[in-house]
Amino acid sequence: MDRPIKKTTKSPITSKTLERVISKAGLGSRTDARRWVHDGRVKVNGRLVQDPDEWIDPIQDRIELDGRRVKTLDKLYVLLYKPAGYITSNGDPDGRPTVYDLIKDVTTFVGTVGRLDEDTSGLLLLTNDTMLAEAMTNPQFHVPKTYLVKCATKLSDGELDQLRSGVELKDGITKPAVVKRVRENESKTFIELTITQGRNRQVRRMIEALESKVLKLVRTKIGPITLDGLESGKWRHLNPGEVTKLYKLTKLDVKLEAQKSVPKQAERPVKFERKPTPTKRAPYSGGADRRTTRRRHT
């Protein structure tokens, strides 16, 4: 049955109707969920809600059924300020600390969106939204990543231009980068470097191609997401607005809209067509018909 779609002021990406969130949590069907909400058994952020079509945000809102928290199976987006000395891996045979040691209180498994070297600090995203993670790491989408780089030598304007236009690495020339000289002293240069690729150790290798060396590397930004207000070693959830921006950046918002407008096969009423019952017996064909029939059923 088609129900009118209610307007929402919440994020169109993460928000869902209350009915959908409850049924997706695996507690019952959508019909069950609607009944429970109508019956006054559901609260959202402590407020009794009796409209199953109310839009809520399963990441931010707390939903209770009969006073017990409903654990939503929805997407999680974690922004971690990774300190140097942690590896981007889920477990290490050598016992080194991993980024998962820093997000122990995240109870749902989230995978890392790309990686940072052990010696690199800064912004690392983790999510169970595999579609977004794949899009963010797909070179086709050119997601910009910004790094603050402390280089071991003084770099000339010409060398910074080389980084801008592309340097030759053993796996090919790098794509154009945005480079800003932040400051320098008698022997070192600090730059801000924005690249849209994510090759292995790319920033370190770009600086090494200029016969310098990276002394410190911090990722400060991915697309519109920054580390502002977050301390090293701490994490927070992305807010719905940030998730929406990432969907826009990777054009997944357009893809999802396009998918919504295609009617799903399963949603169309299934018609069972009856075969007309033969009124007359077919004339005997010497057994050929029967063989055909048998073959089709195997």
Residues in the site for ligand URA, rule: CB under 6 A? Answer: 116-117, 120, 201-204, 217
Least Å distance, CB 140 to ligand URA, is: 19
Candidates 221, 217, 198; CA nearest to 207 is 217
CA distances from 167 to 25, 79, 143, 207 (A): 50, 31, 19, 9
Least Å distance, CB 206 to ligand URA, is: 8
Q: Is 106 left (phi over 0), alpha (psi -120 to 50) or beta?
A: beta
Q: Which two three-digit tokens encode residue 282?
A: 């077919």
Instruction: Please say which residue, 120 or 212, places its beta carbon nearer to ligand URA.
Output: 120
Is there a catalytic annotation at residue 117? yes
| The one catalytic residue among 117, 119, 161, 228 | 117
Candidates 99, 100, 95, 67; CA nearest to 83 is 99
Whole-number Å distance between alpha carbons of 220 and 28? 43
Least Å distance, CB 203 to ligand URA, is: 3
Instruction: Please say which residue, 66 or 168, places its beta carbon nearer to ligand URA.
Output: 168
Least Å distance, CB 88 to ligand URA, is: 8
- The DSSP symbol for 16 reads E
Instruction: Please say which residue, 13 or 214, places its beta carbon nearer to ligand URA.
Output: 214
Instruction: Please say which residue, 99 or 116, places its beta carbon nearer to ligand URA.
Output: 116
Instruction: Please say which residue, 15 or 120, places its beta carbon nearer to ligand URA.
Output: 120
Write the secondary structure of 131-158 as one string of H (helix), E (strand) and C (coil).
Answer: HHHHHHHCHHHCCCEEEEEEECCCCCHH
Residue 114, SS3 per DSSP: coil
Least Å distance, CB 214 to ligand URA, is: 7
Q: What amino acid positions are annotated as catalytic residues?
A: 117
